[in-house]
Structure formats: structure tokens, C-alpha cells
Structure 1
Amino acid sequence: MSKKIIAIVPAAGVGKRALDVSNEGAAVPKQYRLLKGKPMLRWSVEALLADPRVEQVRVVVAVDDPRAQAVLDGLARVVVRPVGGPTRAETVSAGLADAALDNDAWVLVHDAARPGLPLSSLNRLIDICLYEQQGGLLALPVADTVKKAHKAAAFAPAEGCVLTGTAGKPATRYAVAETLSRESLWLAQTPQMFPAELLRKALLQAHRAGVEITDEASAMERYGVEPRLIPGDPRNFKVTWPSDFDLMEKWL
């Protein structure tokens, strides 16, 4: 018998590193920025709907978010739930509680800011997790040389050279502390797929321990589970910086 699979898209944040400002001066959360005329959130949700095994996509937004419902209007198998919290982990936990899933259901958690998810990657993730009955995540082996940094000593810039960080503040400078072996390093992507009840317990344990969780796999690791690393795709990168929007539009 096939297991129920639902997807949760945590979309309660604002994406401060890629905020857009409208003509009226209001900040637009990045998930609502347009890519080829379509909001990024809609692209990401449609990517999940491309696999018919995903019975429902539950988009979890902040309680005062008025945009998501209109952005996703007309999409079957999609519900918007205004139960999001201040952090990703709390938003996913709230989405799980709100869904009231059976213990044997599976959940896919996907970033609203990964609109380039290919169907082949999604198929592969679901196929392997169900076949092996083990949770896993899409990821890419690190190809570049990896440097560990430390803050560099302050210095005065050359005359006429302006070095600033954000909001006019001096930029923090870093220097190489050491070079890390990339042999066993992977870059995590989403979706990340786990049994719903196991994920709920792992997130709860991390919350009670006061541990910051940046993705679901890290909560599972703390819980004693070894998530499978399943090859993803470069197109499935996370839109983080303003320049990423132009790059993503070239992929879509």
C-alpha cells in the first residue's frame, strides 16, 4: 500500500537578504518577487505538484500574511495555512501539527526560495526514500576548495577606496584560517523527506534543547537518524541574494 505524502513549504519569513521595495516603499518578501512574471512561491509550489504522488502542498505563512492565497489561486492540491512561527523550525513544526498527519505519512519540506527544482530530482528523492524506507535530502557534493575563515585585523583602506558593508557600516574582513577537505562535504538542498511523526519528534527535541535548526536533516541527525544524501541539481539553488533572481530566471 502506498504511503501518504504531503509537502510543507515554510514561507513565513521575509528573506531580508533579498528584500524588494515596491513603488509604495513597502518591503516585499522574496517569495513574492516575480520571476518571469510569476511569483517565486508559485514556481516552487508548482514544482512539487509535478509529481502526482504528492497528495497535497501545505504552504505555511505568517498569521498576518495577506499575499499567499492570491498568489496560489487556482492550484489544485494546495492549501495555505497562516500558522507560521518566527523561525523555520517553528514554522515547520506548526505546519506538521496543523496537518494532523497519520504516523505512517511522509512529509516533504521544500524552501519557498527554490523555484528551480527539477521533476527528475523530486522523483529521485521520493523513489529512494520510499524504496529504502529511510529519510533523505537532495544535496550536491562540494566542487570548490573550501576555506575556513576568521576575522582579519582591521586596516585603513587606500585613499579614495571606499570599503563599506551594509547600511554604510564598515565591512567585516576575513582571512583564511585553514583549508578543509571537500572529500565528504555536500551542500544541502530541499526537498527533505522524512516520516512525519519522526520529524515532528526530532524538531520537538531540538526545540526543547534550545538548538537552532536551519534544516530538517540537522534535526534528524540530532535525533540519531542518518538521512540519505540523494544527488540534486545545480538548478535547485536557493535564491538568497538580489543577483540570484537574474540567474534563476535564466534557468526557468
Structure 2
Amino acid sequence: MHENSHPSATEELCALVLVAAGRGSRFGDDLPKQYHLIDDQPVILHTMRRFHQHRLISHIIPVIANGDPHWQVWSHQFAALAKLQPPVIGGAERQDSVRNGLLVAQQLGVPWVAIHDAARPLISQALLDRLLQARSRAQGILTALPAHDTVKQVDDKGFVVRTLDRRTIWLAQTPQIFPTALMLDLHQQASAAGFTATDDASLMEWAGLPVLPIEGDPHLLKITRPEDLETVRALIQGKEIV
């Protein structure tokens, strides 16, 4: 169960569960960050187009907030994406939203699922290739960056208590890729146990299952603050993402 040794796994189809139900309270305005515009198009459309281009991404399953008025505004442009499924309504927490998306992926019969933040638009085809190819090595694939700076741990008063070995530290990104049935089962187990994880790879850790980190991209940042949006806008306008 820990290793997937079949080379054919690298060619199996993968659905995208796109998490877009967040309100973006840290962004500082009422418009969710995934709907802010870059080149007159919302961030979420930039994200979806990049996944849509990959031949092994079979379906795009967006998970949006209940009562989201913005999705419908852009639905005429979203309709050009043939792989796009009707939006799924999210839950109270991110974990609930992902579980709702996983249920749809299971109903579609897609063997693998990539779970991704809608506010991370700068995913390259080359990185997607590497992540999907890694399915021959493990069932849990984590996009992550190795730490290059010195990492300090602080106490509850904010004072440094120790320096961590940065060689063992990776900073998690998305997408994170798993077998659909396995990840749905872990989400259901976690819900029953009252366990809340900060990302989906944490559910694999909770279950004692291995996760393989694959080096991501510093440009694959999550838009959380207004300055992040400006950085992503500059990258999109200033270079071709391939």
C-alpha cells in the first residue's frame, strides 16, 4: 500500500479538486482573492487554464463557497474549459470542502486526484509532469520547497528556543496528489475522529502513510496578501509560464 511500483500509474488520469471556497479574510477586502483580476481575468481562471492544458488532467472540480455570487459572473468564460465540472459547494472548513470535491471525483471514477489552492495560479506544465510521474514511486505526492534559510523555533512568548536542521525542513505547497479512494477514506476517517489537518498530506501522516516531497517552484506562491497578487501579476505579465 505504501509504494505504487506500476509504471502505468504515471499515465493514469487525475482529477483536479480546486479549493476556491475561502473568503480570503487576510486579503483585506470583500472580494475573495481568487476573483481578483490579472489581465482582466480572475485568478481562478488563470489557475484552471494551466491544469486544463495537461493531457492527464481529466476533470476540474471547483469547490466554491455557498452563495458565491462571483462564479456566475465569470461562468461564460469558464464554459470554454471542456474539462470543467459544475461547481461543488464547500463546507465550513477547508477539509470539509476538499471532502465534498473528493466525493465527486470518486463518482466520476477517476483513480487519482490533485488537490490545489485556487489562489496558486503559477503552476507550470513541467512541474505537473514531475508530480504526475512521481506516482510510480509513492501514493502521496507533496509539492514542496526545501528550506534554504536558517529555521528558528520560538516559544509561546515569541522567543527563539532552538534552531532546526533545515536539511529536514520542507515548505508545503499545492498541488498534492493521491489515489482518490484512499484520500476520500482518510477524509472520512478524520471527520469521524474529529481530526482537522492543515493540508491533505497531513492526513497521510496521521494515518502513518508515506508522503514523497517533490521540489516545487518559488513562483507557485499562494495569493494571501495584496502584495502577493502584485507579485503574481508581475510574473504573469513579465514572463511566459511553460
Specify if TM > 0.5. Answer: yes
Which residue is equivalent to 1:10? Answer: 19
**Cα separation, partners in 2 of 1:67 and 1:112, compared to 1, 3 Å:** same
Q: How does 1:120-135 map to 2 (within 5 A)?
A: 120-129=126-135, 131-132=136-137, 134-135=139-140
In the other structure, the counterpart of 1:92 is 98
**Contact 1:13/1:86, CA 8 A, preserved across alignment:** no
Match of 2:160 in 1: 176
Match of 1:195 among 156, 176, 179: 179
CA–CA distance in structure 2, aligned partners of residues 151 and 245 of structure 1 = 31
Question: Is residue 2:53 matched to residue 1:50?
Answer: yes
Alpha carbon RMSD of aligned pairs, Å? Answer: 1.8
AA aligned to 1:239 is I
Q: Distance in 2 between matches of 1:58 and 1:70?
A: 18
**Misfit runs of 4+, over 6 Å:** none
SS in 2 for 1:236: coil
Q: What is the alpha-carbon distance in structure 1 between the residues aligned to residue 148 and residue 164 of structure 2?
A: 12
Secondary structure, aligned partner of 1:218 = helix
Please report how far the alpha carbon of residue 176 of structure 1 lies from its aligned counterpart in structure 2 after TM superposition: 2.0
Partners of 2:145 and 2:216 within 8 A in 1:
yes
What is the distance in 2 between the residues matched to 1:103 and 1:77?
A: 14
Alignment of 1:208-219 (within 5 A): 208-219=192-203
Residue of structure 1 in register with 2:31 after alignment: 28
Q: 2:112 aligns with which of 106, 110, 117?
A: 106
Q: Give the TM-score normalised by structure 1.
A: 0.83
Identical residues among aligned pairs (%) = 36
Q: 1:74 aligns with which of 74, 80, 93?
A: 80
* 1:178 to partner: Cα distance: 2.2
Q: Is the 8 A contact 1:19 1:29 kept in 2?
A: no
Which structure has the bigger radius of gyration?
1
1:37 counterpart residue number:
40
Matched residue pairs, number?
224
Question: Which region of structure 1 is more displaced relative to structure 2, 101-110 or 50-59?
Answer: 101-110
Q: C-alpha separation between the residues in 1 aligned to 2:115 and 2:174?
A: 7
Task: Name the structure where helix makes up a greater proportion of residues.
Answer: 2
Distance in 2 of aligned mates of 1:118 and 1:3: 19
1:137–1:188 contact (8 Å) kept in structure 2? yes
Structure 2, gaps ≥5 residues long: 1-7, 237-242
**Distance of 2:152 and 2:53 partners within structure 1:** 38
Check conservation: 1:33, 1:39, Cα contact below 8 A.
yes
